[in-house]
Amino acid sequence: MASRTEHLAAKMFSEPHHFAADVEQRGISFHGTFVQDWSNEWNDADDPATGFGRYSLDLAMAVDGEKLAGWKGSNAAVRLKQHIVEFGSGDGYVEQLYSNIDASSRTYLYELWLEQQLGGSRLRLKGGKFDANSEFAVVVGAGDFINSSMGYSPTIMAFPTYPSPKLGLGAFLKVSNSSAVSAGVFQTDGWGTLTVIEPGRRWTAAGDNEGRVSIGYWRLDGDIPHWDGSRSGSTRGVYGVLEQSLWRAASSEPEKGRRLSSFLQLGHSNAAVSTFSGHAGAGFVLQSPLARRAGDSLGIAATWVNTSSQMTAAANPGSELVLESYYKILISRWVALLEDFQYFRQAAGEGDGPVTTSRLIVTF
């Protein structure tokens, strides 16, 4: 008689959908995301007519330790990522990357981590290689904007997020139903050790409009170079995120109903060390702009950075303002198309101009 393992192995090729369901019941699930961007810099004479094309492929396996091995409160994940520049190039004159998937071409292990919940899920511990932005400085409502600064404040130096997560250890304490405190220590890409502490609070305003605020403090310890050529043993900064739902239409399915939400970001770091000494960003997202298209969304936002006055004049654009808008069309359960427009304005004027991006998103 064939073993259960042999039976599952045979089903993996003959009945892949049933195989996935069987494996998920045992605590293992697989997910994938394919994102392809095609951008055009309309004011850049060097930008070819074909524009700038690249894609990112993300393959993930999540493990529920309780289902798989009876290890209550445990979870683990493995993620592989491939990023390929297909043609062209971009981001040459801008400080804030106009696509959050932009990076050099490579295929690599993106995340490998284990977490454990304790005290009835009041305390969560997480360790391994993981994206720091999945836990810290998160702007939930800005998830469909594609400018890199919409996801987290660029004033956070050596932040180990895409494209280079690092080893880290995080502790996440649920103080009450509305309050929490997060802390993490991470390796960085040659800068030393980054420590982050972030308390946060949630609330529900009139009309079931939810809101949240978080304030983060970070410290980078290592051999830190200054713009004037000196060095120090550490530097630090702060950031904040505020999100608030402003309006929600009455619906039998609140999560799928029409709603208008907003977000605000602020960040500050030491101008003697950091490229960006200040950052501010804000935006609005309308879910289901058309009542019959529940999966569509429309967003408009702005993000501004102030570059360090201590940088050399040749490398210092002074400041940069980016205006971004997008419309996301949900074509099917697995496929979405996002059309994005950004306008860059620099104090020095070198990187001024519009950039358009068409993004294809496939989940499986």
Measured CA to CA in angstroms, residue 281 lies from 17, 95, 113, 166, 238 at distances of 43, 14, 31, 26, 15
DSSP secondary-structure letter at 329?
E
**92 phi, psi to nearest 5 deg:** -65, -35
User: pLDDT (tens digit, 9 = 90+) per residue, 161-197?
Assistant: 999 999 999 999 999 999 999 999 999 999 999 999 9
Evaluated on CA atoms 262, 266, 214, 340, the torsion sign reads positive
Average pLDDT over residues 278-291: 97
Task: Catalogue all structural domains in the chain, each as residue range(s) with its CATH number.
Answer: 30-363 (2.40.160.180)
**33-37, 264-268, 350-354: range with lowest mean pLDDT:** 350-354
Percent of the chain with pLDDT over 70: 89
User: pLDDT (tens digit, 9 = 90+) per residue, 58-88?
Assistant: 999 999 999 999 999 999 999 999 999 999 8
| Beta-strand runs (E) in 249-318 | 259-269, 276-287, 297-307
pLDDT score of 334: 98
- From the list 349, 300, 351, the residue with the least C-alpha distance to 326 is 300
DSSP secondary-structure letter at 134?
G
pLDDT score of 1: 41
The token duo for 22 is 């069987």
User: pLDDT (tens digit, 9 = 90+) per residue, 216-236?
Assistant: 999 999 999 999 999 999 999
